[in-house]
Amino acid sequence: MTRSQPRVAIVTGGSGGIGRAIAERLAADGMSVVVHYAGNAERAEKTAKAVTGRGGSAVAHPADVAEPDQVRTLFEEAERRFGGVDVVANTAGIMLLAPVAEFDLADFDRMHRTNVRGTFVVSQEAARRLRPGGALINFSTSVAKLAHPTYAAYAATKAAVEAMTLILARELRGRDVTVNTVAPGPTATPLFLNGKSQETIDHLASLPPLERLGRPEDIAETVAFLAGPARWVNGQVIYTNGGIV
């Protein structure tokens, strides 16, 4: 690949929220983008059209991130359409909340399948296919260290993501591929806001010293840094939360 050719990014969960902001930001940085989605084709197509409408290159493609054959096809589509894969921003995930004593184990298994197995399957394929100079960015949560009540099951899945990410960074020694995790704090997305009272939202917005919720664009900024110039940042968990401790 010559330097005149654009880099190529796959954004899992790219149809909305943080994923869409990342897809649009990476495209603005000149990358061709594959917008992955699990179920909502219309939203994914809107994201792709938002990119192409600004002169970028994007295509939407479905996959169940927990199914290796479907993830393999996702990567093959990126290679077929754009020539290879340089960046994977792995935002796909679900969040289900309840106290440990009340948590439904079927919900736990469903969340584990997407957040842990799904991240592992995508990371596995990324490890096999990312080109030199590439970057894999997985997603955790600041709650993994903040330990808010009702978040135990969700935080447990994200702690697993952190562990596999840090180990994979070391396993890819000599490949010139970075592997990092972004751990957002409270961010104003439909996934985060769903089911929360205004009182709860206001409280969470007051926690950072900057006294606001994060925006999807804030998280996309960090991903763009890791996907592009941050070649000396590797094997790290980047807490992107406005200073919550």
Does residue 61 register a pLDDT over 90?
Answer: yes
Do 99 and 149 touch, CB atoms closer than 8 A? yes
CATH number for the domain that contains residue 81: 3.40.50.720
- DSSP annotation of 214: B
Number of domains in the chain: 1
Summarised one tens digit per residue, pLDDT across range 148-166 is: 899 999 999 999 999 999 9
Q: Answer yes or no: is 201 within a domain.
A: no
Q: Answer yes or no: is 85 within a domain.
A: yes
Query: In the annotation, is 154 catalytic?
Result: yes
Summarised one tens digit per residue, pLDDT across range 181-201 is: 999 999 998 877 888 899 989
Does residue 3 register a pLDDT over 60?
Answer: no
Q: Answer yes or no: is 205 within a domain.
A: no
Contacts of 213-217 spanning 24+ positions with Cβ under 8 A: 213/186, 213/187, 213/188, 214/184, 214/185, 214/186, 214/187, 214/188, 214/240, 214/241, 214/242, 215/21, 215/187, 215/188, 216/17, 216/18, 216/20, 216/21, 216/22, 216/187, 216/188, 216/189, 217/21, 217/25
Summarised one tens digit per residue, pLDDT across range 25-34 is: 999 999 999 9
State how far the alpha carbon of 65 is from the alpha carbons of 132, 202, 210, 212, in Å: 24, 33, 35, 32
State how far the alpha carbon of 62 is from the alpha carbons of 14, 23, 73, 92, 172, in Å: 10, 15, 9, 12, 27
Domain limits for position 143 = 8-184+215-239
SS3 content of the chain, % helix, strand, coil (to 5): 45, 15, 35
pTM for this prediction: 0.94
Summarised one tens digit per residue, pLDDT across range 197-222 is: 999 899 989 999 999 999 999 999 99
- Least Cα distance to 75 among 84, 236, 66 occurs for 84
Per-residue model confidence (pLDDT) at position 190: 80
Q: Answer yes or no: is 230 within a domain.
A: yes
Catalytic residue among 37, 151, 154, 239: 154
